[in-house]
Amino acid sequence: MVISEETRQKAVDYEVESIHYITEQIGPRESGMPKELEAQEWLKKELDDNGWADSSTIDEFTIARHALVGFTKVIGVILILGSLLQLLFLAGRPAAIAAAAIGLVFAAFSFLTTVQEFLVYHEFLDPFMNRTQSHNVYAKYEPTGEVKRRIIFNGHVDSAYEWTLMKIKQNVMVGVLVVDIVCLLAMIAFTIISLIRPEWMWAHIVVICFTVPFIGLFFVCNFKVVVPGANDNLTGTMNAVAVLKCLKESGIRFENTEVCALLTGSEEAGLRGAKAFARKYKEECTEIPTAIICFDTLRDLEFLTIYDKDMTSLVKNDKDCSKLIDKACDKIGHKLLHGGVPFGASDAAALSKGGLKAICVVGQDPLHATYYHNTRDTADNMRPECMRLCLDISLAACEIFDAEEFGE
């Protein structure tokens, strides 16, 4: 498969120009809101009008856009109320027992909510929140003959709410969340102690003191600010588009391999677009060998990593997809790191949990990404050399996937 250096470089230039256009003309793309769809419709038009895709669809699904990060504010209120209720111990033993019981229920519910919404990304609070419509774009570049295998390149179009503490420093955000989780677990322990020994005033006082760290939960995110999301994740989105662009403009069609671009919505709202895709297309993606390669935040070249483990390392992504990317890297002479998502999740996790074969490639410094989920994530803060490397990896993966039995 021959794709010239000029074609590849023009594709990367197009990626950069498109990201400038989307961030500056369309703007931030809140999950499940009109700007997200506007960007997706623009991308679909580019794919259709230029003939880079033979067919494309926009699929609709319903989300609660505030549930994922909004849970921090919900449990913040509940935990502070539960902590302050312990002041009732001043009214005597019956009131102290009641306060401890209520505090334990509040703490247990908060812990369950944290696990369900953030750790495993279940739609736990979603039924109780406002719902909107989000969308996925699914574009296909057909082979010349029968479709016998399929490779899909993915990036998410939506951008995040600003994580207020992250703008100060990434470690500040992580530190606050870790402290609050420790305090939450301690609150469960001390309210149990207070139930057993309601006369132990010190146990109530300790729980009351947790009010202070729980205030930090209100500063995790700011729903009033949606970030530009140039790196996270228009870089991954445009990589998927660029793959189809390079194939079409080079006159390359495989005989039996379909190459697709999946431009998901609402990744930042809890991987909802990837979940919706897995539900709708599971049969299509399991009846023939299908590999889904997710790309996210293609900026920090030295940290470019294949994430074999996802969703805070609780989910295993597909080993065959991982081997495919390793082979592609060998082909172009650039090894990538392997690792697990230390905190959070990618679309690959939802796809893997949905029964599909997926892997994620991420180029982000896990500890010092000063642009992550804040207003510094602009089109002027990108690194095209990382985007170029990921395009080369993607094109090499296409060629290998077409030539070899998937899973060899």
User: Do residues 228 and 161 touch, judged by C-beta distance below 8 A?
Assistant: no
> What is the reported pLDDT for 389?
98
Whole-angstrom distance, CA of residue 199 vs CA of residue 89: 8
Q: What's the pLDDT at 130?
A: 94
- Superfamily of segment(s) 5-64+132-162+226-403: Zn peptidases (3.40.630.10)
Strands 222-226 and 304-310: unpaired
pLDDT in the model for residue 408? 59
What pLDDT sits at residue 168?
84
For the chain (408 residues), the mean pLDDT of every run of 10, in chain order, is 93 98 98 98 98 98 95 96 93 90 96 93 93 98 97 98 88 89 96 91 94 95 96 98 98 97 98 98 97 98 96 95 97 95 92 98 93 96 98 98 85
d(CA 69, CA 164): 12
Position 405 scores a pLDDT of 86
What are the residue boundaries of the structural domains of the chain, listed by start? Answer: 5-64+132-162+226-403, 69-126+166-220
- C-alpha–C-alpha distance, residues 285 and 287, integer Å: 6
Q: What is the pLDDT of residue 170?
A: 80
Q: Would you state the pLDDT for residue 406?
A: 82
- pLDDT of amino acid 142: 98
